[in-house]
């Protein structure tokens, strides 16, 4: 089952779906070079064409040159996967100024496994965000949790996307008028998948089942829209929750980030 999920992930979720909402997209050999929100560069690929260490260094150089020529791009994420054959890629990235962030687990499973009833604490309600203020409040909370200074620009971009794109949903948990947990559901057109993204819970509200309930609501929404599988790049906070629900870890992904000086 794990290998079947990984094959489906590689075939259905890499490259095109990852860059579908980019404001700019270019190709260089196997690389897909995208820009989001006019400021964030992103590098992905289906595979690296069997490149050796020298070839990988040349690909990193080409990607950096592409983004350096766009002064509005403040940072670039190179998305690596643990199951890719990429000898010397870590060294090539680090030597050129990319810094590895924490690895995340690629989790996949049946949406029905997550769509279970979860008892919420008294006073907590879960709903789909429908107003700009709700999206901004969720973004502010996520910015604190992830220590993201660009949370507002990301939230404003999400507001614009939610207005024009019904494949994305933002779900929030609210207590005493404040957003205490939030996460997106993103349907991937033409595939069997939807993605769980941006999941975060205020530290003061963790350990009460709120994130699990939020995930269950997103799973129910995915099922209602005809999706079979859910996929998530999970932190060590969310991975155990998804594992207990029956999702499996099929690989890892590590973002390497270059920041313009």
Q: Write the pLDDT tens digit of every residue in 218-233.
A: 999 999 999 999 999 9
230-248 mean pLDDT: 91
Question: What backbone torsions phi and psi does residue 14 show, to the nearest 5 degrees?
Answer: -95, 155
What is the CATH architecture assignment of 109-252?
Answer: 3-Layer(aba) Sandwich (3.40)
Q: What is the structure's pLDDT at 139? A: 98
Per-residue pLDDT band at 116 (split at 50, 70, 90): very high
Q: Cα torsion for 171, 181, 157, 30, to the nearest 10°? A: -90
Distance CA 13, CA 260 (A): 29
Q: Write the pLDDT tens digit of every residue in 141-181.
A: 999 999 998 899 899 999 999 999 899 999 999 999 999 99
Helix or strand or coil: residue 118?
coil
Which spans in 69-199 are helix H? 89-95, 111-114, 132-146, 151-164
Spatial contact of 231 and 13, defined as CB atoms under 8 Å apart: yes
Q: What proportions of the chain, in percent to the nearest 5, are helix, strand and coil?
A: 35, 30, 30
Helix or strand or coil: residue 20?
coil
Q: What is the structure's pLDDT at 245? A: 85
Q: Write the pLDDT tens digit of every residue in 170-191.
A: 999 999 999 999 999 999 999 9
pLDDT higher than threshold 80 for residue 118: yes
Helix or strand or coil: residue 69?
coil
Q: What is the structure's pLDDT at 1? A: 64
Per-residue pLDDT band at 3 (split at 50, 70, 90): confident
226-244 mean pLDDT: 92
Spatial contact of 192 and 227, defined as CB atoms under 8 Å apart: yes
Distance CA 222, CA 144 (A): 27
Q: What is the structure's pLDDT at 38? A: 73
Domain with CATH 3.40.630.30 in the chain: 109-252
pLDDT higher than threshold 90 for residue 83: yes
pLDDT higher than threshold 80 for residue 207: yes
């Amino acid at each position: 089952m794990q290998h079947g999920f990984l094959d489906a992930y590689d075939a259905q979720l890499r490259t095109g779906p990852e860059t579908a909402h980019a404001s700019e997209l270019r190709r260089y050999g196997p690389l897909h070079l995208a820009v989001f929100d006019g400021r964030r560069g992103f590098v992905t690929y289906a595979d690296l064409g069997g490149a050796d260490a020298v070839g990988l260094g040349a690909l990193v150089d080409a990607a950096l040159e592409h983004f350096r020529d766009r002064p509005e791009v403040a940072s670039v994420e190179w998305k690596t996967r643990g199951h890719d054959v990429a000898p010397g890629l870590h060294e090539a990235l680090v030597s050129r100024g990319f810094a590895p962030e924490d690895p995340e687990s690629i989790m996949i499973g049946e949406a029905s496994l997550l769509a279970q009833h979860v008892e919420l604490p008294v006073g907590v309600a879960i709903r789909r965000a429908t107003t700009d203020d709700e999206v901004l409040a969720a973004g502010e909370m996520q910015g604190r949790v992830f220590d993201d200074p660009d949370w507002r620009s990301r939230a404003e971009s999400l507001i614009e996307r939610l207005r024009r794109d019904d494949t994305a949903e933002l779900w929030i948990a609210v207590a005493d008028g404040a957003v205490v947990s939030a996460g997106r559901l993103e349907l991937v057109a033409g595939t069997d998948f939807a993605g769980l993204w941006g999941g975060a819970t205020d530290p003061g509200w963790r350990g009460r089942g709120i994130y699990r309930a939020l995930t269950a609501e997103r799973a129910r929404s995915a099922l209602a829209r005809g999706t079979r599988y859910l996929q998530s790049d999970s932190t060590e906070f969310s991975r155990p929750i998804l594992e207990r629900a029956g999702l499996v870890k099929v690989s890892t992904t590590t973002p390497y980030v270059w920041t313009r000086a």
